[in-house]
Structure 1
């Protein structure tokens, strides 16, 4: 009787987890596509998406392949999972590139603080320009791979569908983050909350950054880097789980 109860509760638990994943992906999509999307929302979104992948991995690791929604009994199912494996590599590369860009940006901000302490206005402007170049460089990987990885496919199972939707969400979030990065240092003509312009020095320097704001920006770059690293680890775990499933059905 107890065994029957456990078996009966499994589909219910699976459906509940899938519903939660769907709901969270919808909420994330609304945040990312909102015109008022901010860098703070991007920080939060990276961690939330990492949690979504953790939930998907939990479903995949259920004892029954039927419960996991990844039966590879048909060629179509196997092809869908193998395609997801290929696309996961592209996504992992994108996430890794974002981590590297954020690490460079954080270093750039730290160096900018050092030259400001020395009062070197010319070097400060050079560092600001370096930050902008690095921020724009972070957008380049998406121009080459986004259309390919987003290629639509009819999912053969609910799990493949969830993986596909999470993948598209990850791309949108990383791409949105890359577009927000250059705006973190604004010119004096576009001063905003994140503008690092000191009006006291506008006559002598186009961009002079205030130490307190730079410290906040360095923390933000660190938070983004941590969020991207968390998502990267989750993507690796998902790929390992997919590989295990494919190997299990190869025998």
Structure 2
């Protein structure tokens, strides 16, 4: 199996299409951020860890933005021999934007269903009559969300294969950008798996080349740290038992899930804007 882009150390040896120096503070910061992503691959997926990864991704893209402003960087990307590699990065950015859209839609849909259930529970003031139908609607919506997430996983795998191809000459700038893309894929995978919940465990192999260590996943631990999954588990327990005593627990879990989703939405939206900016900058460079 080919090595993951995350596991390939960037080469900054001197050449016409390389970065000016490995010791440049911006390239050093990018290296440092990429190393942090590699080191965190074996960490468990939770709302706090996923939110932290999104925040780190924002920092990483801020440094990428500075990197793309360098004249030598722009010269390297504009060279004819880099055309295929630059197109690969641009194609990858489109996939990443699409996956971000899937994640945003999944979070929004889950939040709306969560809020609707909370509203129903408040109106019924603890009563359970007819509540089962509303819970089933929520669970049906989750199935549709998982279907969209499964498609996003497949798109990530396809993009991974294309990025690892040897077409075109790859200099230090492209190598760095590809590693940034790989780190982004890993974070988005974690986010999608968090949203999807325990059933996502069967889909880890779709992007195992990027996040092989994370495929050793502990479902028991995930259930303790995933607010969205906890809310779903509470709802399933209520449907199974029909016990009014479970309603309070359902309300608490739904509230925790909503707060978690709001935090993730904010982090994802902030990163999404940076991803768009990076893509536009590269397009402007190659189209000058």
TM over 0.5: yes
CA distance in 1, matches of 2:111, 2:243: 23
Contact 2:106-2:195 at 8 Å conserved across structures: no
Distance 1:13 1:29, change over 3 A: closer
2:51 counterpart residue number: 43
1:61 counterpart residue number: 69
CA distance in 2, matches of 1:76, 1:53: 25
Contact 1:88-1:239 at 8 Å conserved across structures: yes
1:137 counterpart residue number: 147
In the TM superposition, structure 1's runs of 4+ consecutive aligned residues that sit over 6 Å from their partners are 198-202
CA distance in 2, matches of 1:184, 1:135: 13
- For structure 2, which runs of at least 5 residues remain unmatched after alignment? 1-18, 200-219
1:210-251 superposed Cα distances (whole Å, 9 cap, x missing partner): 323322210111111222211211111011110111022xxx
Distance 1:223 1:162, change over 3 A: same
1:166 counterpart residue number: 180
1:109-148 superposed Cα distances (whole Å, 9 cap, x missing partner): 1111112222343134224413532442342232431222
What TM-score does the superposition give when structure 2 sets the normalisation length?
Answer: 0.69
Offset of residue 70 of structure 1: 2.5
What TM-score does the superposition give when structure 1 sets the normalisation length?
Answer: 0.79
CA distance in 2, matches of 1:205, 1:132: 23
Find the residue that maps to 1:70 and give its secondary structure: helix
- For structure 1, which runs of at least 5 residues remain unmatched after alignment? 1-9
1:131-190 superposed Cα distances (whole Å, 9 cap, x missing partner): 5324423422324312221131456222211211111121221122222223389xxxx7
Computed over aligned residues only, the root mean square deviation of the Cα atoms, in angstroms, reads 3.0
1:98-247 equivalences under 5 Å are: 98-117=103-122, 118=124, 119-120=127-128, 121-130=131-140, 132-150=142-160, 151=162, 152-153=164-165, 156-183=170-197, 192=224, 194=227, 195-196=230-231, 197=234, 203-205=241-243, 208=247, 209-247=249-287
**Alignment: residue pair count:** 231
